[in-house]
Amino acid sequence: MSLAISVIVSGISFGLVIGIVGFGLVFLYKTTGVANFAVGNMAMFETFIVYELWKGGIGIWPSVAIGMVLGGVFALLVYLGALRPFDGRGNSNLLVRTVALYLLLRAMADVFFGSNQPYNFPQLLPHSGFSVGPVDIAWADLITIGIILAIGGAFAAMFRFTDIGLQLTAVSQNAPIARLLGVRVRRLSALAYVLVGMVALVAGLLVAPKQLLSSNMMDPLLLYGFAAAVVGGLTSLGGVFVGGIVVGVVTNLVSTYVGGDLALASAFVLLLATLAVRPHGLFGSPSIQRL
Amino acid sequence: MIRRKLTLGGVAAIAAAVAVAGCGSSGVTAGGSTSGPIKLGISVPLTGAVGSSCGPLNKATVAWFDHINKQGGIDGRRITTDTKDDAYAAARAVTNTKGFISEGVTAVVGQCGSIQPPAQVPLLAPRRIPFLFPFGAVESLFHPVQANTFALLPLYGSQLVSAVNWTFQHRGAGTAVMINTATPDVDATINETRDAVNRAGGRFLATYTVPAGTGDFSPYVLRMRALHPDYVILDQTPQDAARVVNVMTTAQFSPNRNLIGSSAISLSTFLSAIDKGLATRLIATSATLAPVDAQSTQCGRVIRAAGLEVNGPTLWGCGSAQVITSALLQAGRTVTAASLTSTLDSWTNRNASDIFPPVTFSATNHLGVKQVFVFGVRDDAFYTIDKVPVSG
């Protein structure tokens, strides 16, 4: 029983990291209409930037702070350079661009940083933990949960209490109408990319110390993140975190009690079951079209 | 009429004799020449996924050959190398190997990786061109024995058995769990290791096989932790092994006694990626001497002179080149592929390198290393504790 509880706690922590990757997918989908498959590799590239700053002699936390700013700038440049030009060519066109971006970022990371990868990224969270009865809980897991809930709460507050949040909500619900009402959609899309760039870096910083920093470190999480987004609902920003928790806990329990080779399969079983039974996800809104 | 036929036959015979003599004096034979430079072909990943390790390995190999050339070569014959990048791809290695065959190289050497050799061997074997000492644990290199293929790296399963035997003898028998990266031969490795643990008086508690690309190792670590083992046996790629050890640190789990591994993790890149506290508990095997102990060897000096770091891959590169030049020297001035092969087959406990243990080959055994080094960790570096026979 104590093993099961430990696995569930670890699964929640892992699930929230998946959720934050999925959050990037969903947030960009809602604000730009296109799910960006390059979110994971944006996180990877930005984490390499932080690593290079740290290797250059800047302390790890100042490197993280600088990296946050650079991450936002980097994501903005990605939007302006790869997605903004000719953005009226349709969502399929933009989707394919994100796939190309995924490959390009991987290749660039291999060229600039990859010669001796993987790298040992400094530990940002404590290694210690505590026991609650027979269950051992790692501080790293609890802090991860806290960070991601704080990020989710910050976004929820932004949407609820700020003008920018209101405009982002309008764009995510109906971009053409929002544009007619004077909302500057492209400017908000750029802002969305800046915010996702910073959030993606948080995901990278949580993953790199465990997975080692390498150009493919986010690949497993991208698949899980996609599953989390579908399970939670592609139109629900809060739902993706719940979807991530569901995916994280289920895959960890499957790994522990059934077999590791079924972990990824179980995530996709969840995805397919969701699409079959509740296509808009646990918290997503069904799309209704007026005929 | 008969006289004319005899005369014509005599002319034909003389012409044939002249042609044969001409061929002999030009020194061209299949698989190398008997005069001029000794040409060796090297197909090696200089780019791609393993280029960062295999590139320096290649430089160390060439550095040793240059060192020998500066001392007069092999009985006055220079060693020349033709190095081609295969980017860790079997198809490119095949293309490179075909090029070496058409160039008439004496041997193909210096390969780095386990994907390429199985594709190269079928090209070289029919032509009896020696394929020497690739840096990869590939069973098909020496089982079944191919007349022209020689290896120096025992399989990881054999190494783990040796490591278990040594550790249980010196640190006491105990309970063990094992974690593996999923590979085609993982079941055989697990069975060999389980049998070794049980034979040595220990108890094999559990084994976990992790698919490549796993995003979270926590479930496996938590299961191992629940068993409270004395030993954790790592049968993984160095990257996955480092990830597991890091998760063990986060989960505050360590075996009661030691982590046990093979040459797959006896690399400084693995050591630098894991927590220092657990690193000191590591026991690993290696076919080559530890870098810290190799600094004062000939290879250590040659590697440093070439501006390279003395580490596992460069020691392999230089050490294997030492074995090759030792064989070339013994084969004599008119070394050919055939004489090189028969020279290697004649070796018993030959000290061909100051990096490898004594090497033994025979017509029925082409895995030359019969012992492996046992490494511990001290001051953030591997050091050589002992030597142990290779099992199996």
B127/A220: higher pLDDT? B127
What pLDDT does B21 receive? 40
Provide the 8-state DSSP code for A14: H
Q: Are residues A101 and A209 in the same domain?
A: yes
**What is the arithmetic mean of pLDDT over A75-99?**
87
Interchain proximity A210–B249, CB inside 8 Å: no
The mean pLDDT of chain B is 88
Residue B116 has pLDDT above 60, yes or no: yes
Assigned token pair, B276: 């220092």
Is some CB atom of chain B closer than 8 A to the CB atom of A119? yes
Report the residue of chain B nearest A126, measured CA to CA.
B250
For the beta carbon of residue B160, count every other beta carbon within 10 angstroms. 29
Asked if B125 and B148 count as a contact pair (C-beta separation under 8 A), the reply is yes
Residues 6+ apart with CB under 8 A from B372: B154, B159, B162, B263, B285, B286, B287, B357, B387, B388, B390
- From the list B102, B183, B150, B153, the residue with the least C-alpha distance to B344 is B150
Residue B11 in domain: no
Q: Are residues B160 and B150 in the same domain?
A: no
pLDDT digits (tens, 9 = 90+) for B145-159: 888 999 999 999 999
Residue B6 has pLDDT above 80, yes or no: no
Interchain proximity B239–A120, CB inside 8 Å: no
**What is the arithmetic mean of pLDDT over A31-48?**
90
Return the sign of the alpha-carbon dihedral for residues B321, B119, A217, B220: negative
Interchain proximity B211–A120, CB inside 8 Å: no
Q: What CATH code is carried by the domain that includes residue B271?
A: 3.40.50.2300
Interchain proximity A210–B251, CB inside 8 Å: no
What pLDDT does B9 receive? 45
Residue A147 in domain: no
Residue type, A133: G
Q: Are residues B162 and B147 in the same domain?
A: no
Q: Are residues B240 and B383 in the same domain?
A: yes
Is some CB atom of chain A closer than 8 A to the CB atom of B251? yes
Question: Can you tell me the distance from the alpha carbon of B145 to that of A108, in angstroms, rounded to the nearest whole number?
Answer: 43
What pLDDT does B313 receive? 92
Global pTM value: 0.82
Where does chain B have alpha helices with state H?
2-26, 51-70, 90-103, 117-124, 156-171, 186-199, 218-227, 238-250, 268-271, 276-279, 291-294, 298-305, 312-331, 337-345
Residue A83 has pLDDT above 90, yes or no: no
Q: Are residues A269 and A165 in the same domain?
A: no
Interchain proximity A136–B247, CB inside 8 Å: no
Residue B366 in domain: no
What pLDDT does A287 receive? 62
Provide the 8-state DSSP code for A121: P
Is some CB atom of chain A closer than 8 A to the CB atom of B249? yes
What pLDDT does B382 receive? 94
For the beta carbon of residue A135, count every other beta carbon within 10 angstroms. 15
Compute CA distances A46 → A105, A219, B24, B360, whole Å.
10, 15, 65, 51
Model confidence at B20, pLDDT cuts 50, 70, 90, reads very low
Residue B340 in domain: yes
Q: Are residues B164 and B150 in the same domain?
A: no
Of B51, B213, B252, Cβ closest to residue A220: B213
B203/A275: higher pLDDT? B203
Long-range contacts of A260-265 (CB under 8 A, 24+ apart): A260/B208, A260/B209, A260/B210, A260/B211, A260/B214, A260/B219, A260/B220, A261/B182, A261/B209, A261/B211, A263/B211, A263/B214, A263/B219, A264/A220, A264/A223, A264/A224, A264/B211
Interchain proximity A117–B243, CB inside 8 Å: no
Does B144 sit behind a cis peptide bond, omega within 30 degrees of 0 on the bond before it?
Answer: yes
Provide the 8-state DSSP code for B253: -
Report the gap between the CA of A260 and the closest CA in chain B (Å): 6
Provide the 8-state DSSP code for B251: T
Chain B environment of A251 (Cβ under 8 Å) = 216
What pLDDT does B34 receive? 66
Model confidence at B143, pLDDT cuts 50, 70, 90, reads confident
- From the list A190, A215, A218, the residue with the least C-alpha distance to A202 is A218
**What is the arithmetic mean of pLDDT over B109-129?**
93
Q: Are residues A95 and A180 in the same domain?
A: yes
Interchain proximity B211–A261, CB inside 8 Å: yes
Of A129, A214, A221, Cβ closest to residue B215: A221
Q: Are residues B170 and B319 in the same domain?
A: no
Residue B257 in domain: yes
Residues 6+ apart with CB under 8 A from A267: A223, A224, A227, A247, A250, A251
Q: Are residues B382 and B329 in the same domain?
A: no
Report the gap between the CA of A263 and the closest CA in chain B (Å): 9
Interchain proximity A212–B218, CB inside 8 Å: no
Q: How many domains does chain A have?
A: 2
Is some CB atom of chain B closer than 8 A to the CB atom of A116? yes
Where does A33-138 have alpha helices with state H?
39-55, 60-78, 91-113
Is some CB atom of chain A closer than 8 A to the CB atom of B272? yes
pLDDT digits (tens, 9 = 90+) for B85-99: 998 899 999 999 999
Q: How many CA atoms lie within 13 A of B176 on its CB side?
A: 33
Query: How many residue pairs from chains A and B have C-beta atoms closer than 8 A?
Result: 94
Interchain proximity A260–B269, CB inside 8 Å: no
pLDDT digits (tens, 9 = 90+) for A4-24: 888 898 899 899 999 999 999
Residue A135 in domain: no
- Choosing from A216, A241, A259, the residue where a domain stops is A216
Residues 204-223 of B with CB under 8 A from A: 208-211, 213-220, 222-223
pLDDT digits (tens, 9 = 90+) for B52-65: 789 999 999 999 99
What pLDDT does B163 receive? 97
Compute CA distances B94 → B97, B108, B193, B321, whole Å.
5, 12, 34, 22
Model confidence at B291, pLDDT cuts 50, 70, 90, reads very high
Phi, psi values for residue B231, rounded to 5°: -130, 145
Question: Domain range for residue A226?
Answer: 1-27+218-286
Q: Are residues A158 and A276 in the same domain?
A: no
Q: Are residues B141 and B184 in the same domain?
A: no
Question: Domain range for residue B140?
Answer: 38-154+293-361
Residue B165 has pLDDT above 90, yes or no: yes
Residue B15 in domain: no
Residue B12 in domain: no
Residues 37-56 of B with CB under 8 A from A: 51-52
Residue B212 has pLDDT above 90, yes or no: no
**What is the arithmetic mean of pLDDT over A90-112?**
89
Residue of B54, B186, B208, B216 for testing the chain A interface, max A β-carbons within 10 Å: B216
Interchain proximity A120–B272, CB inside 8 Å: yes
B274/B34: higher pLDDT? B274
Q: Are residues B262 and B343 in the same domain?
A: no
pLDDT digits (tens, 9 = 90+) for A41-77: 999 999 999 999 999 999 999 999 999 999 999 999 9
Residue B205 has pLDDT above 90, yes or no: yes
Question: Can you tell me the distance from the alpha carbon of B362 to that of B342, in angstroms, rounded to the nearest whole number?
Answer: 9
Q: Are residues B179 and B262 in the same domain?
A: yes
B209/B26: higher pLDDT? B209
pLDDT digits (tens, 9 = 90+) for A186-204: 888 899 999 999 999 999 9
State the DSSP H helix or E strand holding residue A151, giving kind and residue range, or none if neither: helix A139-161
What pLDDT does B124 receive? 94
**What is the arithmetic mean of pLDDT over B24-30?**
40
- From the list A227, A207, A239, the residue with the least C-alpha distance to A274 is A227
Report the gap between the CA of A255 and the closest CA in chain B (Å): 6
The mean pLDDT of chain A is 87
Parallel/antiparallel/unpaired status of strands B381-389 and B371-378: antiparallel
Is some CB atom of chain B closer than 8 A to the CB atom of A169? no
Residue B7 has pLDDT above 80, yes or no: no
Helix (H, G, I), strand (E, B) or coil at B178: strand
A170/B192: higher pLDDT? B192
Is some CB atom of chain B closer than 8 A to the CB atom of A131? no
DSSP characters for B50-107?
THHHHHHHHHHHHHHHHHHHHTTTBTTBPEEEEEEE-TT-HHHHHHHHHHHHHHT-SE
Residue A267 in domain: yes
Q: Are residues B310 and B380 in the same domain?
A: no
Residue type, A166: L
Q: Are residues A93 and A183 in the same domain?
A: yes
Residue A138 in domain: no
Residue of A254, A255, A256, A266 for testing the chain B interface, max B β-carbons within 10 Å: A255
Q: Flag whether the ipTM exceeds 0.90.
A: no
Helix (H, G, I), strand (E, B) or coil at A155: helix
Residue A128 in domain: no
Q: Are residues A230 and A111 in the same domain?
A: no
Interchain proximity B249–A127, CB inside 8 Å: yes
A29/B66: higher pLDDT? B66
- From the list A254, A255, A259, A227, the residue with the least C-alpha distance to A243 is A227
Residue B14 in domain: no
What pLDDT does A33 receive? 80
Chain B environment of A252 (Cβ under 8 Å) = 216, 218-219
Asked if B152 and B320 count as a contact pair (C-beta separation under 8 A), the reply is yes
Q: Are residues B163 and B123 in the same domain?
A: no
Residue B111 has pLDDT above 50, yes or no: yes
What pLDDT does A289 receive? 56
Residue of A256, A257, A262 for testing the chain B interface, max B β-carbons within 10 Å: A256
Q: How many domains does chain B have?
A: 2
For the beta carbon of residue B8, count every other beta carbon within 10 angstroms. 10
Model confidence at B203, pLDDT cuts 50, 70, 90, reads very high
